[in-house]
Chains A and B, each alone.
Chain A
Amino acid sequence: MTLATRERLPAPLPDAAPTWLASRRAAALQHFTEVGFPNTRQEAWRFTDISPIANAAFTPASAATLTPGAIAPYVFGSDEGVRLVFVNGHYDAALSLTPTLPAGVAVLPLSAALADPAHAKRIEKHLGALADITTDPFIALNTSYATEGAYLFVPNGIDLGSNVHLLFVTARGAAGTVAHPRNLIILEDGARAEVVEQFVGLDDGAYFVNPVTESVVGANAELVHYKVQREGLGAWHVGALAARQARDARYYGFSAAIGSAIGRTDIRTVFAGPGGEAVLNGLYLVRGDQLIDHHTRIEHREPNCASRELYKGVLDGRGHAVFNGQVYVTPEAQKTDGKQTNRNLVLSNGARVDTKPELEIFADDVKCTHGATVGRLEKMSLFYLESRGIGPTLATRMLTYAFAAEVLSSLSIPPVRTQLEALLGEWLG
């Protein structure tokens, strides 16, 4: 029996769910029922066994009340612009922070946006257009059951001006529950926004979070889009980010993964116009029996686009990391400039890394490189530090910090960088 058949259908969204939404959900559920959960015989899931999720029983997570103090360790203080807080997948207005924004800009819970005719029209146009239910059963699952999430709209030529923090908190005692947050980000031509999605768990229960975010980036628009996954260590987190970039659009993504027992993020961006730029960076810190998986796919479908990708990982204990980076270049995408790097630092004998770059290039005038490394700290570097009186424990910590912090230096939202540097320091102990 699968989760889909066992889970009770949530209430329609909102009261009078538009028929287009009802039919998209039905189609997604139909698809999921047909294909079921993925298994390790499928290439995209070869190294990531999600059978603990497939075999578990979940009920939809119900709302919980949290004090501001409970989320205080996760917010950005005075550096924070807009904050939407979702507790167990439910929007919490009291914990959210919604200052006045430039005219026409909307940062709303999805349910509220659907109640507004102009936004509902945009949602109808874009929801499900980028996150394809047929490419990933978990996207189908989310599309079937999503009831809430964030909606962000920035009109033509407007800079949202302050960062947007989407904080998804799972409260204590949520073991056995599931939430399917669904976010939609729409930047019209020339617009700009900074969005941070942060997922945190307040205990280590076996709950499941299955988020999907779609980002429509208009011509010459710029989206800075970070995801920070720090679920509880008993949690399962399987999510997807899908973006489409129009002409000259910039997408600056970062995925940090520190939490969860099994954590998987699929990231896909498509160049739908020439001249675009995408940066997909990330950092994962994996220890204990954690499994952290990133699958990225950059589709160069138009000429003169550039993509840069740097994922770094540090592994300890029996941690297992999976990285798969697809770069797909169509025959039209001449002058593509792509560079992908995945570097893993292994601190223990029990850790494991499966890294695989996949370049599929069908154009002839392109510059695409990739590199993947799995290694230990350099003996000579350790000796150099030791020869100055720094013992092996501190030397290892310093070198590991330096290895990981390099990729954090690309973060352009200061409080996120500060937070992740602190988390890295804590993780190293």
Chain B
Amino acid sequence: MLEIKNLTAKAGDKEILTGISLTVKAGEVHAIMGPNGSGKSTLAQVLAGHPSYEVTGGSVTFLGQDLLALEPEKRAQAGVFLAFQYPVEIAGVTNAYFLRAAFNEQRKARGEEEVDPIDFIDLLEEKLKIVEWGPEIMQRAVNFGFSGGEKKRNEILQMAVLSPKLAILDETDSGLDIDALRIVANGVNKLQRPDAATIVVTHYQRLLDHVVPDFVHVLAGGRIVKSGGKELALELEARGYEWLEDSAIAGARA
């Protein structure tokens, strides 16, 4: 489904991704872990087409398409969804209007008919249950004045409505209390499908207690320094990242 080959990217003059290669198949859950500054959020944002980063080399193929050649909205229409680490507040646009616009733009791109507001409400009702919300949230401006937890739940709600083929969760667990973490994790689990994949970018192991990954990759210095199964996350929890960073530096020297 997703094939990343030797991807390099920079922000300004700073090289952040130094050569990432990763293959994700349908139905899989991949966790990307790593210390602050390792490039894991950058990887998530580069895949979504964030304008602050410049890809300097490598390739990304998504369902046979050159993902890097697509504008951000085309990537979304192709089925890529990024749950933002810092969801953006959009004053003056209601959640209902925003979500319906996004939903319909994606349908139009697939050559499907737009859904009218009444039918959309029916669809929403079901999706709201996934994040344990009532309909009131839909009349609030997108993320505007939302608490940190509400913003993350809103990302999962959007993901539920848009049902992407590849969901990338960028530190969706950071800043969440236990209840919010449970709601977010349940949402992610409910939304997993055999034909869709999930990449969970996280600093901590705790989300992975709820969303169990098939593969864990550790980033350091802008590349993957170690990959393994879910037990790697537990090892990282116990030992920290330093031993891997040291070996990464050693590897770079060698």
Contacts and interface: CB of A to CB of B under 8 A. Distances in A.
B92 interface: yes
B51 A379 contact: yes
A381 B48 CA distance: 14
Given A379-B51, A381-B88, A389-B76, A398 B93 contact: yes
Contacts of A402: 90-93, 141
Interface string A381-407: 101111111111011001101110110
A1 interface: no
A386 B91 contact: no
A380 interface: yes
B101 A387 contact: no
Given A381-B90, A399-B90, A386 B71 contact: yes
Contacts of B71: 386, 391-392
Contacts of B75: 387
Nearest to B92: A402
Contact of A384 (B84, B106, B109, B141): B84
B153 to A, nearest CB: 16
Contacts of B101: 390, 394, 398
Residue from A381, A388, A403 having most chain B Cβ neighbours under 10 A: A388
Contacts of B162: 388-389
B87 interface: yes
B49 A389 contact: no
B105 interface: yes
Q: In which size bucket is the chain A interface?
A: 20 to 34
Given A379-B51, A394-B101, A394-B105, A387 B76 contact: yes
Contacts of A386: 49, 71-73, 76
B8 interface: no
A392 B73 contact: yes
B151 to A, nearest CB: 11
Nearest to A393: B73
A149 B184 CA distance: 63
A388 B158 contact: yes
B69 to A, nearest CB: 15
A398 B96 CA distance: 13
B72 A387 contact: yes
Contacts of B76: 386-389
Contacts of B77: 389
Interface string A97-123: 000000000000000000000000000
B50 interface: yes
Most buried by B among A389, A391, A401, A402: A389
Contacts of A384: 84, 87-88, 90
Contact of A403 (B48, B49, B92, B105): B92
A285 to B, nearest CB: 16
Contacts of B105: 388-391, 394
Nearest to B109: A389
Nearest to B93: A402
Nearest to A388: B102
Interface string B107-122: 0010000000000000
B31 interface: no
A385 B51 contact: no
B92 A387 contact: no
Contacts of A385: 90, 98, 102
Query: B71, B72, B77 — which one has the most chain A CB atoms within 10 A of its CB?
Result: B72
B50 A383 contact: yes
A420 B82 CA distance: 36
Interface string A372-384: 0000001111011
B90 A383 contact: no
Nearest to A398: B93
A387 B90 contact: no
Contacts of B82: 387
A117 to B, nearest CB: 52
Contact of B92 (A389, A390, A391, A401): A401
Interface of A: 378-381, 383-392, 394-395, 398-399, 401-403, 405-406
9 contacts: A383-B49, A383-B50, A383-B72, A385-B90, A386-B73, A387-B84, A399-B90, A401-B93, A402-B92
Given A384-B87, A389-B162, A402-B141, 17 more contacts: A381-B88, A383-B49, A384-B84, A384-B88, A386-B73, A387-B49, A387-B75, A387-B81, A388-B76, A389-B77, A389-B106, A389-B109, A391-B105, A392-B71, A398-B93, A401-B93, A403-B91
Nearest 4 pairs between A and B by C-beta? A402-B92, A389-B76, A388-B102, A384-B88
